[in-house]
Each structure stands twice: as C-alpha cells, then as structure tokens.
Amino acid sequence: MMTMDAPRRNSSLSYSVLHAADVNGGRSVTSKEEIHSMDLARQLADSPPPSAPPPLRPSAVPSSTSSKDRYAPWLKKALGKMHHAEALWHTHRPPSATSVGANSHSPPPPHSHNKSLGHQGNPARPLPPPPSSSSSSVQQPATIWTAVHAGNVADVRRFLDLDRHIVFRHHEADGGKTLLQVACWHGHVHVVMFLTMFVQATFGLDALTAYVNAIDTAYSRSSALLDTCRSLKGDVNAKLKILQLLVQFGAVVEHQDCHGDNALHWSARMQALPTTRFLIQDTDAAVYALISENHKRQKPLDVAKLARDAKPSMVTSAIFDLLSRVHRDCNVRLKIQYGKKLRLHAEAEARARRVDDVTHAADSARMLCHSADQMWTMALEAAECVRNDMEAKVLDEGGKDAVGRARVWLETKEGKAWVKKEAPDAIEAIKSLVHKGVVPKPRDLKKAAAVRVMEEYVLGQETNMRDLIKKKFGREHPAFESRDVEYYKRVVHNGGAR
C-alpha cells in the first residue's frame, strides 16, 4: 500500500466532524458496487463476532491453492479505503481529542457512527458533534415569530407583555404574514385563541374583526382563514376549531386572494373534506363563496371536479358530491340568506338611524338649554330693571308727597310752635359747627336755626315715607334671589324632562 501524506487539518472544525467526513465521505465511494460494499461492511461491523467453529478434519480443509478470497475485489477496495482512513485519523489524533474532561467529548466509534448513518440512509452526511452540557438546557426563542411557529403560548405572552403593538406586525421574511396567519398555518389552536383574546381585551371588537380579516400583502391577499384552508399542517380537529373561532370573530368566508380563490376553492383543491363540510354547513356566507369564481372562471365545484378527475378517491368524490348537492340547492339557500341579509341590513340601518336621532335630539336639547339659560337670564335682568324703575318711581312720588305735606304742616300754627321749640337746640348746633370751622357764621343766627329745623323735619318725613313705601313695594313686588332662580330652573328642567 502506497504511503500518503497527512492532510492539513482545519482548526475551525472539530476532530469528530473531520473523522466522520473522511471515513464516510462521498470521496471514498465512487460506484454503485462500492456503496453496496459499504452496506455489507456496516452489517459485518454491527453483527456480533461469530463463535469459534468446531475443528474440521484434515480431509475437510480445502487446499490453499483451491480456496477463494473472502471478499470480492471491489469490496476489498472499499474496505481498504475505510480501514486506511480510520488508521490515518487514529495516528494523527490530537491530544485534546483523547483527553476526558467536563467540556471535552471523544469522537464516537466508527462502528456506531456507521450504524447511525445506515439507519438514516445517507452515508455521505456526517453526524454533528454531540452537544455540550450547556446546550442541554431549554433556550428561549429569539423572536415572537419563532414562538408562534413552535406554538408556545407562554413565550408569545412574554413578548406581548413587552410590547403589545407587535401583535399587528407583518413578517417580511415570510411573505408579510401576521402572527395569526402563522399560527393558523401551523394549526396551533391555543396560540390562535390567545392572540384573538388578547386583541379583543386590549384593542376592542372592531380591532379584532379587522385583525382576523387582515391580509399579508396586496400582491397575495391571503387571510388567516385562507391560510388555514391552504395548509395541511396540524391536527384536523384543531383546524376545525381555528375555523370556528375565525368565523365567530367575523372572518369573511367569501374573501378572495390575488387569484380569486376563496376558502372553498382552497379546501376543494387541498382535498380537505372536514374543512369543506364545516364551511358549507356552519357558515352563512357559504353560498356566496360557492357561486363565486376565481380568475380562471372556476367555481369550487369545478376545482373539486378537477381534483377528482386527477386523483379519484373517496375524499375527492365526497367533496364533489357535497358541493354538487349544495349547488343544486343554491338558489333556495341564496334567496333565504339574501332575505336574511336584507333584514339584518335593515335592522342595522334602523339602529343606526335611532342612534343618530338620539344624538341629534341630545345636541338640540343641549343647544336649546343653553339658549333657554340665556333667555332666562335676559328675562330676569329685564324684569329686575322694570321692577327697579317702578320702585324708583313710586319712591319719588311718595317722597314728593311727604315733602309737600311736611312743608304745609310747618306753615300751620302747630308747625311754627314746633319750630320755635326746636330752635334753641338748632342754635347750639350751629354755634358748635361755627366754632369748629365747618360752616361760616350766619348773619341771623335765629333765622338760620329755624331754617335748619324745618329742613331736618322735611328730610326726616321724606326718608320715613320712602322707607315705608319701599317695604310695601317689596311685599307687593318681591325681587328674585339666587336660590329662587336655581329653584325655578330645576322646576322648568324637571317639567321638560317629564
């Protein structure tokens, strides 16, 4: 056997990977016979060593000249290459590969490696090195898309707790799909339930309806309902539960993608009998989806017929028969559902009109109340002005009458006697004022005292008369107080409410 130089090792690759690549690599087998020889070698290596045969008689032992080799030439060639590679790598094994430590792993034996490759059916593909002890622990997903793809509700909740608005994001690397579309595609019903409940609790029912009917891109126009019907992943019961949830939350069954296909088109094309039966029996919009055509002018019945002709089976025949029965009764069901749709539309319009009327009445009442308050204030101010004018007029008239009667009384004998009686006190008062410098000293002190007494009498009579008239006018024409105004306002509002 000719000698070979030791190959240069790449420091970035482990010893076990290089060993497996050389021993079981594609370069060591070059023909179909050699592949067959490698399989035989694996079987020989995996089989237990045979027990020692009983000694034969000398006459039974064949001669060396007439004996044949154990293996064929092509088998010997393959085995020679394999044993040479094993010996070469065993000779040039690095010291680190033989040491045993906490973080070091010795390469697997060639026989066990060949056995695992034999079960995989791909001898040219080496096994990866055994994982380290640190990688045995459970790793958290890097993104929320990974968590949804794996169907892990706890990780999805953890990401949404950090940022709740990422529930509406589209995955650019996956054709613009939303989180709900990815969960529907893989059939993760628990993730679908969590996402829908999260959107409803966080953003409301309107946002949930828009989220369920969201499309990935304008070029594909695929919704969560279409992705559920297009995919073959997941359990059938889980997919039916997902369809039920989507329809319950307002998914449009007659929605069409960029090719014009709806949910029934895809269910018939994917030969999904439970999905087709659910869409026909449990959704009100199945008739509209059944009579709609795609861009090839094919109805779901036409797609089911093509699938049955291409692959006749019980499932395709059942789907075609189911769609055929619905198609025959489509006219009656269409009339019934169209009438129901008109009735629901009329009820919705009536509710909307009633809400608009109530809103308009409330706005009008609010404006009228404001205008009524302004009118009330203006009327109250006008009434107060009229009352004040009437009071001033009555007081002036009463004051003039009192002044006239007082002057007439002063001209009488009793009045003159009273003035003469009060004159000394008036003289003393004038003297005091003159002494203080308030008034100048009059020429005739007695006459000034008499005039002063008469003026005080007239002023007193006028003041008394004004007080009496004001009290009488207040009793006959009382003024509105602030509490009375609020009381009458409440009376008016309560009367209007009744």
pLDDT tens readout for residues 249-273: 989 988 999 999 999 999 999 999 9
Give tens-digit pLDDT for 196-219.
999 999 999 999 999 999 999 988
Q: Provide the greatest CA pair distance for the chain.
A: 194
Could you give the residue range(s) of every CATH 1.25.40.20 domain in the chain?
144-339
What is the Cα–Cα distance from 325 to 329, expressed in whole angstroms?
A: 7
Three-state SS at 105: coil
The residue among 331 and 232 whose pLDDT is bigger is 232
Give tens-digit pLDDT for 284-294.
666 777 778 89
Torsion of CA 35, 40, 44, 50, to 10 degrees: -160
Q: Are strands 170-171 and 177-178 parallel, antiparallel or unpaired?
A: antiparallel
> Would you say 192 and 242 are in contact if contact means Cβ atoms under 8 Å apart?
yes
Neighbours of 348 (CB within 10 A): 10
Q: According to the model, what pLDDT value does residue 363 have? A: 87
Q: According to the model, what pLDDT value does residue 14 have? A: 53
pTM (2 d.p.)? 0.46
Kindly give, in sequence order, each residue whose CB lies less than 8 Å from that of residue 409, ignoring residues fewer than 6 positions away: 415
Give tens-digit pLDDT for 121-166.
344 344 444 444 444 445 677 889 999 999 999 999 999 999 999 9
pLDDT bin (cut points 50, 70, 90) of residue 283 is: confident
Q: What is the CA radius of gyration of the chain?
A: 55
What residue ranges in 123-200 does DSSP mark as E strands? 170-171, 177-178
Three-state SS at 170: strand
Per the DSSP assignment, residues forming a β-bridge with 171 are: 177
When the candidates are 1.25.40.20, 3.40.605.10, 2.120.10.30, 1.10.10.10, the CATH number that belongs to 144-339 is 1.25.40.20
Neighbours of 426 (CB within 10 A): 21
Give tens-digit pLDDT for 420-438.
888 888 888 888 888 888 8
Give tens-digit pLDDT for 53-93.
444 444 444 444 444 566 778 778 878 878 887 777 677 66
Mean pLDDT across the chain, nearest whole number? 77
